[in-house]
Amino acid sequence: MSAPATQTQTEAKSQGSILAVVTTVLSPIETLFGEVSHFTPVIFTFGSLFLSVITLNYPIFLFTLASGEALLLLNGLKAVSEYFATADSIKESSDLGKNPKCKSSYQGSEATKFKYLLDNGLSRNIPNSPLYFITFAATYCIQSMYIFSKECYERGAAYSSRPYLAYLSAGMSIILFSIYLLIYSCDTPLGITLSIVAGVLVGLILCNQNLLFFGKAGVDMLFIPPLISRKGMDYICVSTN
């Protein structure tokens, strides 16, 4: 009996070592991923605004305005969910988010810095702010790429593959953060589902809104010139000097 017992102890030590290595490698990545995800409301508002001003980029500036609209719609959705809250749902939401990983660990010079946009790291009512903003931004950019699908195709593989990469990376980000929220009991499956649905709808609506008001150039997140159909003959002036 000693041989099987020794083998079992050896296997247990081996599994423990593997688990320790995996934890050591993945823990910093997981912490960074969670922190960045919790910061998404700030990233997509102040971050895109700063970038658009520095680079004088028109589509990113419109994306900043759309992020502000998304924030207003988020507050409206929260007000609606709070209005329909019941005693059971209030009790259930009060039990969520007690894990420190459900909140941003950012500590500013003032306790209230970014408090409004960060929403204390977790939305107590539907929708979940970070997940909503991640889904909104992903949907907005993917819809922009869909609008420019012909331009991407005409420019060859270097551009035509970008929408597919966007689908993959956006889907992975949303799925990973949803799993993160579930693992640490930051939100419920229903809350996560409704947050994703709300983000997708808002992203589609605001992207098409900017397309309607500002044309294709206003939603050009790939920064490529749109194709224009022209009638008649084009002339090229050649200098004889």
pLDDT at 125: 63
User: Is the model's pLDDT at 20 over the cut of 80?
Assistant: no
Least confident of 117-121, 150-154, 193-197, 236-240: 117-121
pLDDT, mean of residues 44-63:
88
Residue-wise pLDDT tens digits, 60-107: 999 999 999 998 898 888 888 776 666 555 555 666 666 777 777 665
| Tens digit of each residue's pLDDT (9 = 90 or more) over 94-146 | 666 667 777 776 655 445 556 666 654 444 567 888 899 999 999 999 999 99
> What's this model's pTM, rounded to 2 decimal places?
0.76
pLDDT of residue 10: 55
Q: Count CA within 13 A, CB hemisphere, residue 1.
A: 0
- What are the extents of the domains in the chain? 31-219
Share of residues in the chain with pLDDT > 70 (%): 67
Per-residue b/e over 143-166, b at no fewer than 16 CB within 10 Å? bbbebbeebbeeeeeebeebbeeb
